[in-house]
Amino acid sequence: MIRLVGVLVVIVGLGLRLNPLLVVIVAGFSSGLAGGMGPYEILEAIGTAFVTNRYMSLFILTLPVIGLLERHGLREQAELFIMKLKGATAGRIMLLYMVFRQATSAVGLQLGGHPTFIRPIISPMAEGAVAKGRTLPQAVLDEIRGMAAAAENYGNFFGQLIFIAAGGLLLIKGVMEQAGYSVDLLSMALYAVPTALAALALATVRYTMFDRRMKNLSLESEEENR
Amino acid sequence: MKITLDHMYVVTGLLLMVFALRSFLDKNNAKRVGTAVFWALYGVTFLFGKIIPDGIIGGMVVLMAVIASCKGLGSGFYGEASKEEKTREAKKFGNRLFLPTLIIPVVTFLVAKFTSLGALVGLGLGSIAGLIAVVLLTGNGIGTAVNEGRRLIDAIGWAVILSQFLAALGFLFDKAGVGGVIAQMVSSVVPTGSALATVIAYCVGMALFTMIMGNAFAAFAVITTGIGIPLVIVMHGANPAIAGVIGMLSGYCGTLMTPMAANFNVVPAALLEMEDKNGVIKAQIATAVPMLCVNIALMYFLAF
């Protein structure tokens, strides 16, 4: 039971809204010590994992490209582009992106995600579709951006296991085979399809409701302006 | 010479070093020293991560956490373009502005598909190709691009390293045997006679442990060996392939609901400059909870 002290530190620390980096360090040290490791051994474990997981932060390389494009009006162009399209709503743009993301990850393509699509293109387009040239308050912007970031996650998570060489499927195969069960990648990929379809249906409902909310919201503010 | 991931790490490290230098020289950043030291330490882990002893890297990582939690990072002056300028530029360049951003995923795809270099090297090469394209398109120098990159990374702040941090925590949890204890606790309270109860325990266990670890892959081995295999597969005879896939997908429902999955939930909130750092998670809960129920139903009806 004492081994769970690290989990407790994480839950309490994040609950108290302490800096997550600090919470993680304290949690790491406490579970390491509880597991019988020495302080230097814990530092070594942190260092090893930090270095082997550098790939998680390679998106830093895309920042100069996106930043310079933003200087030359990338966001503004994304908004203009959407305002010219009839019938383009924020929810439809996000849903379309989710379908694109599900389809690409189902054939094994990992194309980047939040830094390459959501920040520069999808979110500005959705914001433009809601704003129609007006300025939106930060709370509304936050809501649109949260929904846009979610489209990337839904598409990625509920599409990737359809790809028969997906890392997730290989891991399942490995764990099952270690326990003495032989499992077939193709049939596993097939059984990922029902969840993918359910996610798509649910997202369609949610993005449609989101559009309705955004539409009512804009009516309200127009009335206030009168 | 074959291009490897290590080359991409060197390029990232050099970029971070330039961010550090520019932050240090930025008199408008009230916290220029803390910001510079933070990016420099991070740069060193990219440049020399494999050479410096792991314990020293661990110490540097702790130092970065201390700088961040003492609010040692700030933002500076980037000579940002005004809204009017940006609108004028957008009119001038039109949809050509999308080209460099699209070059990044296209090159990533081509490299991943037609070479043996892998998707991550592809992302790095795509970024370099995108950089060349944007410099040619706009006529700005690389220096301006790097400065705009610094504007973005300062907006994200310490959250940039959170994903790597959490990976280190997961590694420590694993070494301390946290997973086994949790699997044991869950299986001791579940009514094992009911197939549905064991399915719920497996799926909810995957979601909860993924929320703790921030990673469904890390949760999978632990919860599947602790709950899935003994209770769902051995005791009630579920099909291992079907139970395994839907178990993993239940874990992904947990990923949608936790700040521990930083690279999916916290980093995007920072990248999109959202005020509410949990805004992405809040948007996702109303999808994740019903999806977990769907997965429980699917496993119950398909796997037996």
pLDDT tens-digit map of B166-213: 888 888 888 888 888 888 888 888 888 899 999 999 999 999 999 998
CA distance A4 to B155: 34
Instruction: Name chain A contacts of B128, Cβ cutoff 8 Å.
Output: 61
* Cα dihedral: A177, A183, A184, A186 (round 10): -110
pLDDT of residue A226: 47
List, for chain B, all residue ranges whose pLDDT scores fall below the cut of 50.
Answer: none
Q: Is B41 helix (H, G, I), strand (E, B) or coil?
A: helix
pLDDT of residue A218: 62
Q: What is the interface size between A and B, counted as CB pairs within 8 Å?
A: 424
The answer for A73, left when phi > 0, alpha when psi is -120 to 50, beta otherwise, is: left
**Candidates A7, A49, A68; nearest CB to B140:** A68
* ipTM for this model: 0.89
**Any residues with CB less than 8 A from the CB of A202 and at least 6 apart, and which?**
B287, B290, B291, B294
A191–B109 CB contact, under 8 Å? no
B224–A24 CB contact, under 8 Å? no
Structure tokens given for A197: 């379809």
- A38 close contact with B: CB closer than 8 A: no
Q: For residue B263, give how far its alpha carbon lies from the nearest alpha carbon of chain A (Å).
A: 8
CA neighbor of A126 nearest in space, from A149, A144, A103: A144
DSSP conformation class of B94: G
A147–B283 CB contact, under 8 Å? yes
Give me the helix-helix angle, B195-213 and B279-302, nearest 10°. 150
CA gyration radius, chain A: 22
Structure tokens given for B115: 């070479």
Q: For residue B275, give how far its alpha carbon lies from the nearest alpha carbon of chain A (Å).
A: 7
Structure tokens given for A82: 């959407």
A44–B224 CB contact, under 8 Å? no
Other Cβ atoms within 10 Å of B167 Cβ, number: 22
Q: Is the Cβ–Cβ distance between B38 and B1 less than 8 Å?
A: no
Query: Closest residue of B to A151, CA-based?
Result: B284
First-to-final CA distance of chain B: 53
Query: Closest residue of A to B138, CA-based?
Result: A72
- A204 close contact with B: CB closer than 8 A: no
Instruction: Name chain B contacts of A208, Cβ cutoff 8 Å.
Output: none
DSSP conformation class of B160: G
Q: Chain A window 51-110: which residues touch B at a Cβ cutoff of 8 Å?
A: 51-78, 80-81, 109-110
Instruction: Name chain B contacts of A69, Cβ cutoff 8 Å.
Output: 97, 100-101, 134, 138
Q: Is B116 helix (H, G, I), strand (E, B) or coil?
A: coil
Q: Is the Cβ–Cβ distance between B245 and B199 less than 8 Å?
A: no
**Any residues with CB less than 8 A from the CB of B293 and at least 6 apart, and which?**
none
A34–B176 CB contact, under 8 Å? yes
Residue B225 CB burial class (10 angstroms; 0-12, 13-18, ≥19): middle
Q: Is A105 helix (H, G, I), strand (E, B) or coil?
A: helix
CA distance B147 to B75: 12
Range list of H helices, B118-223: 119-138, 142-156, 162-176, 178-189, 195-213, 216-223
**Candidates B245, B259, B274; nearest CB to A20:** B259
Q: For residue A179, give how far its alpha carbon lies from the nearest alpha carbon of chain B (Å).
A: 8
Element (H, E) at A177: helix A167-178
Instruction: Name chain B contacts of A119, Cβ cutoff 8 Å.
Output: 271-272
Q: Is the Cβ–Cβ distance between B29 and B23 less than 8 Å?
A: yes
CA neighbor of A63 nearest in space, from B5, B267, B6: B267
CA neighbor of A210 nearest in space, from A147, A127, A134: A147
Q: How many residues does chain A have?
A: 226
Structure tokens given for B225: 């060996």
- A42 close contact with B: CB closer than 8 A: yes
User: In which residue are the tokens 């924020």 written?
Assistant: A90
pLDDT in tens, chain A (226 residues): 788 898 899 989 988 988 999 999 999 999 999 988 999 999 999 999 999 999 889 999 999 999 999 999 998 998 888 888 878 899 999 999 999 999 988 977 777 689 989 999 999 999 999 988 788 999 999 999 999 999 999 999 999 999 887 889 989 998 999 889 999 888 999 999 999 999 999 999 999 999 999 988 765 655 555 4
B178–A31 CB contact, under 8 Å? yes
Instruction: Name chain B contacts of A71, Cβ cutoff 8 Å.
Output: 80-81, 86, 89, 138, 140, 144, 148
B260–A10 CB contact, under 8 Å? yes
B95–A77 CB contact, under 8 Å? yes
A47–B166 CB contact, under 8 Å? no
Instruction: Name chain A contacts of B109, Cβ cutoff 8 Å.
Output: 109, 111
Structure tokens given for A214: 């955004």
Best of A22, A46, A117 to disrupt the B interface by mutation (most B CBs within 10 Å)? A46
Task: For residue range A104-113, list pLDDT tens digits in order.
Answer: 889 777 776 8
**Any residues with CB less than 8 A from the CB of B18 and at least 6 apart, and which?**
B146, B150
Instruction: Name chain B contacts of A144, Cβ cutoff 8 Å.
Output: none
Instruction: Name chain B contacts of A117, Cβ cutoff 8 Å.
Output: 101, 105
For residue A145, the number of C-alpha atoms closer than 13 Å in the C-beta half-sphere is: 27
